[in-house]
Chains A and B, each alone.
Chain A
Amino acid sequence: MSTGISPGEHGDVLHRLYQQGKRRATQVPEFDAEKVMGRARAAHDAGAVNFWTVLNPAERSAFESAARKQAFAPGTALMREGEHADAVMVILDGWAKVCLDEDGRERVITERGPGDLIGESGTVPGNVRSATMIALDTVQALVMRTEDYTALIADFPGVPDLVKKQTYDRRTGRP
């Protein structure tokens, strides 16, 4: 296979990258400014989503009346990896770490705090917890049974979108 570049002639890596870039300049894709900016804006807005604060008053009071308040002392588990997922929670106050067990060692993935909905991925029937959550300080949470949460979602069709937004926000690592 021949490249037309003999070794030693313009042999440095930057020059080779430059030649490659120049070749690629003939096949540059065309992007649509509105589309690109629209997607960037959507990702940006999703980053601002905090589940609890974006619920409207009716949704929030429905959630409160179907849930009970529970306090978790620092170091206690809000949920454990592998357990049956029977509840969803909204953290009202305090912080928890999300961790995975990797061959006996704990790997912290991220943290969750006030306003975050947690455990919602367990709403699929028969699902188990995919991670462990440990309270870092005293965590006040609204705890709701999974079936009540499913019923609530049926009454408030706007809620699943908010959950999706929060999920997107987490996947993309937005603050």
Chain B
Amino acid sequence: MTQEPYGDPVSLLRSVLADLARAAYGLLGHHADAEDAVQNGCFKLITAWPRVAGLATPGEQRAYLIRIVLNEALQILRDPHRRWEHLGPDAAERAVTLYSVTQHSFEDEIQSKEDLRLVWKAIGDMPDMRRDAVLLRAAGYEYRDISTRLGIKVSTVRSHISDARKQLSRTLPRGWEGRR
């Protein structure tokens, strides 16, 4: 892979697009939402290009774009008008995943949706690098992969995730975990 920084937004996008799709889809679980996140990220990339072009390495440029798209995905997740059915074909499964419910009522679904919003809000309020590491983790990435994508040490990723986990456990309502 070239060590020269990318000279235009399309070459940068092409080199990192598979990752962007995976991260956005991992978080959103919905094809059109994932595409929106990537496209909105590209919109910001075009605006910021004079600055991104000046970054020293292609790795920093890739990390920049990944981070923008992660945050665009987070915006979509935090949209209060995003309906439950927009969470994708595995929405019901998600409710189950979060609660391990054996039988869930409409109220349970609404409640888990509210709780999820608390989770995304808490993640959104985290310091930049921790938030981005957490978002990649939530998208299904391993520590090592998060480390290479963001250009930070594995041990740093580990401590970000561990801190975030503690923070999230304080954020969620009591009794969240075993709710049935």
A11-B178, A14-B138, A21-B141 known, 19 other contacts, Cβ within 8 Å:
A3-B100, A5-B100, A12-B169, A14-B134, A14-B168, A18-B141, A21-B27, A21-B137, A22-B26, A27-B25, A29-B21, A29-B25, A29-B34, A31-B20, A31-B38, A33-B10, A37-B10, A40-B40, A44-B43
Q: What are 15 pairs between A and B in contact, CB < 8 Å?
A: A5-B100, A14-B134, A14-B138, A14-B164, A16-B98, A20-B97, A21-B140, A21-B141, A24-B90, A24-B140, A28-B18, A28-B22, A30-B18, A37-B9, A37-B10
**Bound Cα distance from A23 to B172, whole angstroms:** 24
User: B138 and A7: CB pair below 8 A?
Assistant: no
User: B35 and A36: CB pair below 8 A?
Assistant: yes
Question: Chain A contacts of B3 at CB under 8 A?
Answer: none
B9, B38, B168: the one contacting A13 at CB < 8 Å is B168
The A-B contact count (CB < 8 A) is 121
B2 within 8 A of A: no
Q: Which residue of A lies closest to B120 (CB)?
A: A17
Question: Chain A contacts of B165 at CB under 8 A?
Answer: 12, 14-15
What residues of chain B have their CB less than 8 Å away from a CB belonging to chain A? 9-10, 13-14, 17-18, 20-22, 25-27, 29, 31, 34-35, 38-40, 42-43, 45-47, 90, 93-94, 96-98, 100-103, 119, 134, 137-141, 161, 164-165, 168-169, 172, 176-178
Interface residues on chain A, size class: 35 or more
**Bound Cα distance from A6 to B99, whole angstroms:** 10
Output the least CB separation between A21 and chain B (Å). 3
B9, B22, B101, B177: the one contacting A8 at CB < 8 Å is B177
User: A43 and B43: CB pair below 8 A?
Assistant: yes
**Bound Cα distance from A8 to B99, whole angstroms:** 11
Question: Chain A contacts of B14 at CB under 8 A?
Answer: 33
A70 within 8 A of B: no
**Bound Cα distance from A36 to B26, whole angstroms:** 18
